[in-house]
Structure 1
Amino acid sequence: MLSQDHHGNALSGASHSSAEAFAQAVSQFAIFSGDPVGAAETLMRDEPGFVMAHALQAWLYLLGTEPAGIPVARQTIERALTLPATARERGHLAALAHLCEGRWHEASRVIEDVAIENPRDLLALIAGHQLDFFTGHARLLKNRIARALPAWSPDMASHHAMLGMHAFGLEENGEYALAESQGRAALAAAPADGWARHAVAHVLEMQGRHDEGIAFMRNDMASWTEGSFLAVHNWWHLALYHLELGQIDEVLALVDGPICGGLPVQMLELIDASAMLWRLHLRGIDVGERWNRLAEHYQARWTAGLYAFNDLHALMAFIGAGRGDLIEAVLAQQPIAMLSASDNAGFSQDVGYPLMKAFAAFGEGRYAEAVKLIRPVRHIAARFGGSNAQRDVIELTLIEAALRAGDEPLSRALAGERLAAKHESPLARLFAKRAGLTLA
């Protein structure tokens, strides 16, 4: 008889003890804590026939969007394909094989079918949820989890992770009240659930509840900072609240501390660093050598043309550092990327390349050109991934470009949009004042 995980899914090639270790590793992945990569590698070494240990390692490497992770994952998948496996496990491997080749949407569809057949497959749900995030598929970000929830009960292991993922999906669809309720319920059950905290942080950001957000993040900080590989991103959310309130000293303290102070160990942390420094740049804050250090980190671990969302954020660092050679190299790679067989061809063509050209124009002071390039893609930007909060950098750049270009009608329109969404935001009110709007 095959061993099973905590939710009754058969595990080919696993002993009882390795099945337990696997379940713990997936639980760690669900809350972005611990070392699930190390756990997967140990299981693969000790139980070389354990198919889902191979799948877990491959998912972790690929979902990190690290260029160096692709060949490692590809080798892992190739080994796993030679092993006896169930239909569910073969589904994981098929999805992973698609993702290795940049077929994000096909990977999403295959792992969606796995979860439909096996609604208690937590790894399939986590992986699919992350794919929805990276491809900007907001509706499925919510529904993939919602359709599986009836198969889960509150007494089941990692039920809180289901609530946390559902919360984030709800938030990205503008269902803020239920999103906050689900996220806080998840945190009540598991305070260390980094994704659930992240979901609530998004709700508070999108609703302009910045003082509440600061209090929420600064309360019980140990639960979301210690041992969490989502900690930098959650620190970034705290910095966003302070930035909206104009508390620049607090933002810089977070930038120089937990956000950029150490050596970034994940591509997603580089993204957070770029996103925050660019926002400061838009506010006219001189961040000095921070740009140069960040540009060096990108050079060390990033490859252009694999994922347009990452490319845009690398470009921000190169613009900030004044690295014209690197800016030119990123832009030159995009037409090549658009000819590839991967889904990134579409990400780049539809959204990424126009935005990269726009940000480069902004960096050179060609603000009217930046406006012209951003406007056609701002409402379809979800196609190249990220969250609503992350993509807000596009809106901020557009508003600032319109103001600097002297386009008074557009500046008033854009400032009015933002003020309606975040009426109490000091930043929104500052934009409105600069655009010449009368404030109530």
Structure 2
Amino acid sequence: MTIHDSRDLAVSTADADLVAGLEKAHELFLTYSGDPLGEIEEVLDGAPDFVMGHIFKAALLTQAMETRIYRDMVDALEKAEALAMRANERERLHIRAIRAWADGDFHRAVDLWDEVLVHYPRDLLALQLAHLSDVLLGDTTNQRDRVARILHAWDESVPGYGYVLGLYAFGLEENRDFAMAEECGRRAVALNPADAYAVHAVAHVMESQGRQSGGINWMRSREGDWAYGNFANHLWWHLSLYHLDLGQYDRVLDVYDTCLRSTDQSGDRYEELDAAALLWRLNLLGVDVGERWKTLADKWEPSATDTLYAFNDVHAMMTFVADGRWEVADRVLHAHERYTTAANDANSAMTRTVGEPFCRALKAFAQEEYGAAVETLLPIRYRTRYLGGSHAQRDVIGLTLLEAALRDGRHELALALASERTALKPTSPQNWRFAARAHRGLGDHRRAAEAEARAVALHG
């Protein structure tokens, strides 16, 4: 027996209440609110043979990218696999995709979710998982085009259309189509103010365009919709970036202390990497953050050698080197060496290409070996998308390279890098301050003063 869900997709069950419970859990996942895992577990407690329930649980856990979560994901997957004979073709494709993910073949998993979307373009779970995986893998083009490929099957009459627009908005932004990205993002938020991902897409547009005051106003005006959900840490990080660009470091630290810093020692890695990324940016700018590094490094140290996801590893490394934990930093590098020698999965390629070199550069930078940091980062600066994340998140690599060049006295290189930044985002005070320092290092005090004046004028 099958029942069709709100988007007319067949679900292998005869119980309409199970489908309703599944859709409720998925809505929480889409809005980054509540407890979608607890919601689906409650459904499964009463119906342990509900195959799509196990699929959803396993799919949800794929996105955690944490070793401590991995066993739970595999358990849910194995329960779904044991029920595969009861599943329909769409559901079996989901099972195969999650199995590929569990085996470390992230690209194959995305290909299988894409196959689901070709045949079932209204499968919002497949779309969400493929899109989030594109972000994890740094597949910028498909962050946009994968959503575009299913738009023919959607309009405002289909439940969840706003979420599709929100995903599309982010993909458009990452491909620098800022006008359409903002239009789609604002439209998604108008359809559903609780869509934190769409709020986040518009925040990205404003950060990329250097619209600091507009970004602050956007985030604060929507604060009631996002500040208490499961995506709040990342959105507080976005708000902090605007203040950071304006040189308002006291406000950045206030946001960090009151909103961004997690108090849970076990930690959610996605939350903790936002904290590490923000403190490292402050560190590059010479801002004293006191004991904050120690607290954060304490949280990261238990997972120092996980090597499950390179993006996590580099943020862990920031905390270790900033707090002077050289032995722990070396453990990370040794774990990378063992892992990349033995493994051949998607993450090992990410680690080998960007993660491990960036970790070495972070250690060199913290030990004031700025020349070594420059030499390590220069060859990978155009490959950083393979680390995953967004342009805004990966910008920390470019910032580290530029600051290392300045501190190493390589002012011609620093000026070239700063010029690249001012051309791309001319309304960024921080970019003009970098340019001023480079000109000053080259002895061109007139142009240094002009760049500094631009920075001051942009403070508003």
TM interval, short-chain normalised: over 0.9
In structure 1, the partner of 2:48 is 48
Secondary structure of 1:174's counterpart equals coil
Matching residue within 81, 90, 101 for 2:92 = 90
Deviations 1:97-133 (A, max 9, x none): 1111211111111111111111000100000001100
Matching residue within 189, 192, 196 for 2:191 = 189
Judged with a 3 Å threshold, the aligned counterparts in structure 2 of structure 1 residues 353 and 245 are, in CA distance, closer, same or farther, namely same
Is 2:84 the partner of 1:81? no
Structure 1 residue 263: deviation in Å? 2.5
Structure 1 residue 303: deviation in Å? 4.4
In structure 2, the partner of 1:408 is 411
**TM-score calculated relative to the size of structure 1:** 0.97
Structure 1 residue 155: deviation in Å? 2.2
Single out whichever of 295-304 and 45-54 deviates more from structure 2.
295-304
Deviations 1:326-377 (A, max 9, x none): 1000011111221313211110111111111111110110101101110111
Is 2:262 the partner of 1:247? no
**Relative contact order, higher structure (CA 8 A, sep 6+):** 1
Amino acid of the structure 1 residue aligned with 2:386: R
Matching residue within 316, 327, 330 for 1:328 = 330
In structure 2, the partner of 1:32 is 32
Residues in 1 aligned to 2:345 and 2:179: alpha-carbon distance in whole angstroms: 37
Residue 276 of structure 2 contacts residue 296 of structure 2 at CA under 8 Å; is this kept in 1?
yes
Residues in 1 aligned to 2:104 and 2:14: alpha-carbon distance in whole angstroms: 30
Deviations 1:371-397 (A, max 9, x none): 111011111111120100000000110
Residues in 2 aligned to 1:330 and 1:364: alpha-carbon distance in whole angstroms: 16
Gaps of 5+ in 1: none
In structure 2, the partner of 1:350 is 353
Residues in 2 aligned to 1:14 and 1:236: alpha-carbon distance in whole angstroms: 44
Residues in 2 aligned to 1:170 and 1:205: alpha-carbon distance in whole angstroms: 14
Is 2:269 the partner of 1:235? no
Residue 305 of structure 2 contacts residue 335 of structure 2 at CA under 8 Å; is this kept in 1?
no
In structure 1, the partner of 2:166 is 164
Matching residue within 372, 376, 382 for 1:373 = 376
Deviations 1:262-305 (A, max 9, x none): 32742110110110000000011111211111111112456431
Structure 1 residue 220: deviation in Å? 3.0
Judged with a 3 Å threshold, the aligned counterparts in structure 2 of structure 1 residues 156 and 426 are, in CA distance, closer, same or farther, namely same
Residues in 1 aligned to 2:339 and 2:203: alpha-carbon distance in whole angstroms: 34
Residue 66 of structure 2 contacts residue 269 of structure 2 at CA under 8 Å; is this kept in 1?
yes
Residue 14 of structure 1 contacts residue 50 of structure 1 at CA under 8 Å; is this kept in 2?
no
Judged with a 3 Å threshold, the aligned counterparts in structure 2 of structure 1 residues 30 and 302 are, in CA distance, closer, same or farther, namely farther
Residue 304 of structure 2 contacts residue 331 of structure 2 at CA under 8 Å; is this kept in 1?
no
Is 2:435 the partner of 1:435? no
Residues in 2 aligned to 1:142 and 1:64: alpha-carbon distance in whole angstroms: 22
Single out whichever of 297-306 and 420-429 deviates more from structure 2.
297-306
Residues in 2 aligned to 1:146 and 1:266: alpha-carbon distance in whole angstroms: 32
Residues in 2 aligned to 1:218 and 1:358: alpha-carbon distance in whole angstroms: 36
Secondary structure of 1:241's counterpart equals helix
Secondary structure of 2:82's counterpart equals coil
Structure 1 residue 9: deviation in Å? 1.1
Matching residue within 203, 210, 230 for 1:201 = 203
Structure 1 residue 34: deviation in Å? 1.8
Residue 305 of structure 2 contacts residue 331 of structure 2 at CA under 8 Å; is this kept in 1?
no
Residue 306 of structure 1 contacts residue 337 of structure 1 at CA under 8 Å; is this kept in 2?
no
Amino acid of the structure 1 residue aligned with 2:363: A
Residue 31 of structure 2 contacts residue 197 of structure 2 at CA under 8 Å; is this kept in 1?
yes
Residues in 2 aligned to 1:27 and 1:118: alpha-carbon distance in whole angstroms: 19
- Please list every run of at least 4 consecutive aligned residues from structure 1 whose deviation after the TM superposition is greater than 4 angstroms: none
Residue 138 of structure 2 contacts residue 385 of structure 2 at CA under 8 Å; is this kept in 1?
yes
In structure 1, the partner of 2:457 is none
In structure 2, the partner of 1:58 is 58
Is 2:406 the partner of 1:393? no
Residue 304 of structure 2 contacts residue 332 of structure 2 at CA under 8 Å; is this kept in 1?
no
Secondary structure of 2:155's counterpart equals coil
**TM-score calculated relative to the size of structure 2:** 0.93
In structure 1, the partner of 2:362 is 359
Aligned residue pairs total 439
Single out whichever of 257-266 and 240-249 deviates more from structure 2.
257-266
Judged with a 3 Å threshold, the aligned counterparts in structure 2 of structure 1 residues 303 and 95 are, in CA distance, closer, same or farther, namely farther
Residues in 1 aligned to 2:374 and 2:421: alpha-carbon distance in whole angstroms: 16
Residues in 2 aligned to 1:381 and 1:123: alpha-carbon distance in whole angstroms: 28
Residue 31 of structure 2 contacts residue 194 of structure 2 at CA under 8 Å; is this kept in 1?
yes
Amino acid of the structure 2 residue aligned with 1:223: D
Residues in 1 aligned to 2:262 and 2:364: alpha-carbon distance in whole angstroms: 29
Residues in 2 aligned to 1:333 and 1:31: alpha-carbon distance in whole angstroms: 36
Structure 1 residue 192: deviation in Å? 1.0
Amino acid of the structure 1 residue aligned with 2:395: D
In structure 2, the partner of 1:426 is 429
- Seq. identity, %: 41
Is 2:99 the partner of 1:100? no
Secondary structure of 1:328's counterpart equals helix
Deviations 1:157-181 (A, max 9, x none): 1111000000001111111110000
Residues in 2 aligned to 1:104 and 1:118: alpha-carbon distance in whole angstroms: 21
